Amino acid sequence: MAKYTEDDLKVELETKEYEYGFYTDLESDTFPIGLNEDVVRAISKIKEEPEWMTDWRIEAFRAWEQMIEPEWANVHYTKPDFQAISYYSAPKAVDPNKTLDDVDPELLAMYKKLGISVDEQKKMNNVAMDIVVDSVSVATTFKKTLAEKGIIFCAISEAIREHPELVKKYLGTIVPQKDNFYAALNSAVFSDGSFCYIPKGVRCPMELSTYFRINQGGTGQFERTLLIADEGSYVSYLEGCTAPSRDENQLHAAVVELIALDNSEIKYSTVQNWYPGNKEGLGGVFNFVTKRGLCEKGAKISWTQVETGSAVTWKYPSCILKGDNSVGEFYSIAVTNNHQQADTGTKMIHIGKNTKSTIISKGISAGKSQNSYRGLVRISANADNARNFSQCDSLLMGNNCGAHTFPYIESKNPTAKIEHEATTSKIGEDQVFYCNQRGIPTEKAIALIVNGFGKEVLNKLPMEFAVEAQKLLEISLEGSVG
């Protein structure tokens, strides 16, 4: 019978282009390729940074030179040639003093394609965005509304100039320069990123959002995010990421540091849709990210991530539960398809008493992809009555993909309670047929089943972005069933 079968779907999906794969022809200031101390100094200079910042970068660079790229993750790729990358690229049209009206119309058009036009964002009126295209923060909205509450939300380069005392106090305290290979590289060359400070007792009245995008070919993007929630404050922060389709691999090595002071709460959500490469595995973003947060007494950090993109992902948003009664949460959906590889998970380090952590990880693998969960739960000797609950579910589509789970548990305190649950399932032909029989086409049926599978995590996303994330899941799943 000449029907639309799952095989047809597979073909259709495989030929579907990466929907965000357009390239905007912006005039850019791009550094020549290569990395040495002079390049690090030049970045610092172009950002008009103070000497302490330049020194900090140089210190990181010298450490990085001595380090070797880690190989323990369950991913295989050709290592980037770090001397073949340009470490700075800024769209020329940008001038920090310009208003939005002055912004390059092509840039605005690009936002529109991304579905995040600044105009729209303004109208949405409860989302403030700091948009990072390539390496410079080009538009920061809602600054005024936030300023009235004493909230600082700006590009990190601006924070270094305007709020050096805060940056100096916290930068590198959670992810030190020498933490790991990519963190060291980021510390040396980070070009921009976001900075956020929520004062004592302030509840941030809107979702704060950053949209990252790698535009220029052959550039790496090294954002640095520093978020400080002072005592008793609350903030919800979302970052979204896309990159145009390119044949070469682009490197993305970000560092995110969160500091949750006593009784504060940070909710950090990520929708990551970097270009995953084509169906033969050519091109795509290498996403090597270090994200970590520190919880002081009674504080809470909640990481939520929907990861659908990148050729290779290496990412473990973690919580250091230093203060007594602090709480760490990690909710993740990671989708891999074609030749994508993801090694992602979290670390929950329990140091304080009565600390609690929850890990919900949902991995979806399709095509020839490999999807690994890697998580560490460490209970220190002093962490009396620490609790952890971990749940790792994997959903497989087709017979050529893989799902792997690497849970590590280290407990040095006998009062700890640690629970770990794991399941692996496949989308069944019977499930798809059942949906078909009710009039739901196969593609939509798979989206429905996958969204159901990831529901516990999708529910944790801020409302405005949950819809976007669901759409992304639908776009990303190029695979067959059976």
Partner 1 sequence: MLKITNLHASIEDKEILKGINLEIKAGEVHAIMGPNGSGKSTLSAVIAGNETYTVTEGAVYLEDEDLADLAPEERAHKGVFLSFQYPVEIPGVSVTNFMKTAINENRKANGKADMPANEMLKLIREKSELLEIDRKFLSRSLNEGFSGGEKKRNEIFQMAMLEPKIAILDETDSGLDIDALRIVANGVNKLKSENNAVLIITHYQRLLDYIVPDFVHVLYDGKIVKSGGKELAHELEERGYDWIKAEN
Strand, helix or coil for residue 370 = strand
CB of 3 to partner 1, least distance (A): 4
Residues 202-241 that bind partner 1 (CB under 8 A): none
Cα gap 155→176, rounded to integer Å: 20
Phi, psi of 388 (to 5 degrees): -140, 140
Q: Which is nearer to partner 1, 299 or 450 (CB)?
A: 450
Q: Which is nearer to partner 1, 5 or 173 (CB)?
A: 5
DSSP β-bridge partners for residue 422: 392
* Under rule CB under 8 A, residue 391 binds partner 1: no
Cα gap 51→373, rounded to integer Å: 41
Cα gap 317→175, rounded to integer Å: 11
CB of 387 to partner 1, least distance (A): 25
Cα gap 340→412, rounded to integer Å: 37
DSSP character at residue 439: T
> DSSP strand E in 351-477: where?
356-365, 370-379, 387-396, 402-411, 417-426
Residues 5-64 that bind partner 1 (CB under 8 A): 5
Cα gap 166→295, rounded to integer Å: 18
Cβ atoms of 76 and 341 within 8 Å: the answer is yes
* Count of residues in contact with partner 1, rule CB under 8 A: 28
Amino acid at 60: A
Q: Which is nearer to partner 1, 9 or 251 (CB)?
A: 9
Specify the DSSP element, H or E, that contains 219: none
Spell out, one character per residue from 427 to 466, where the chain touches partner 1: x when CB under 8 A holds, - when not: -xxxx-xxxxxxxxxx-x---xx-xxxxxx----------
CB of 468 to partner 1, least distance (A): 18
- Show the tokens assigned to 175: 């992810």
CB of 371 to partner 1, least distance (A): 18
CB of 443 to partner 1, least distance (A): 10
CB of 451 to partner 1, least distance (A): 7
CB of 425 to partner 1, least distance (A): 9
| Binds partner 1 by CB under 8 A, chosen from 2, 78, 165, 414 | 2
Catalog residues that contact partner 1 under the rule CB under 8 A.
Answer: 1-5, 428-431, 433-442, 444, 448-449, 451-456
